[in-house]
Amino acid sequence: AGWGQILAYMAFCEVSQDQSPGTAAAKGDFGFKVLTASEPAALKRRLNSELANGRLAMMAIMGMFFQDGLTGSPWGDWALYTDSPLRAFENELGVQEPVGFWDPLSFSSDGDILAFKRRRCVELKHGRICMLATMG
């Protein structure tokens, strides 16, 4: 039903307007204005907000596609994805909800416990240095 509704709306937009050359509809303006403002500063702020939210939405939909590929649902439960290589160190220190074991570059996918412990020590040292650096 969803695709049918989208196609029906697209057809409505195509046939309900005079789209002859020189008209506003020929340029894609169908008279639906959401981001209008009388002040240029307010319009600029609204357009910047739309751009920022659009960028966030683009990242979110890519994450949903990825999650859908792994769990079978864009709102899927990661607990259902039992083949995850991230579960190798799920019970180690530093694993926190809601992310669990976070290894975006798959450094620990081989399951080498010594390499994992070395990286964990390095992470702790770097974190401590950064915390001290923020104090000045």
pLDDT in tens, 60-88: 888 878 777 776 666 666 666 666 555 55
- CA 118/CA 116 separation, integer angstroms: 5
pLDDT of res. 96: 61
Q: What is the chain's alpha carbon radius of gyration, rounded to the nearest angstrom?
A: 25
The answer to whether 110 and 86 are in contact (CB under 8 A) is: no
Distance CA(120)–CA(37), nearest Å, equals 52
pLDDT at 75 (0 to 100):
67
Residue ranges, the chain, pLDDT below 70: 1, 28-35, 71-104, 136
CA distance 63 to 82: 18
Q: What is the pLDDT of residue 86?
A: 53
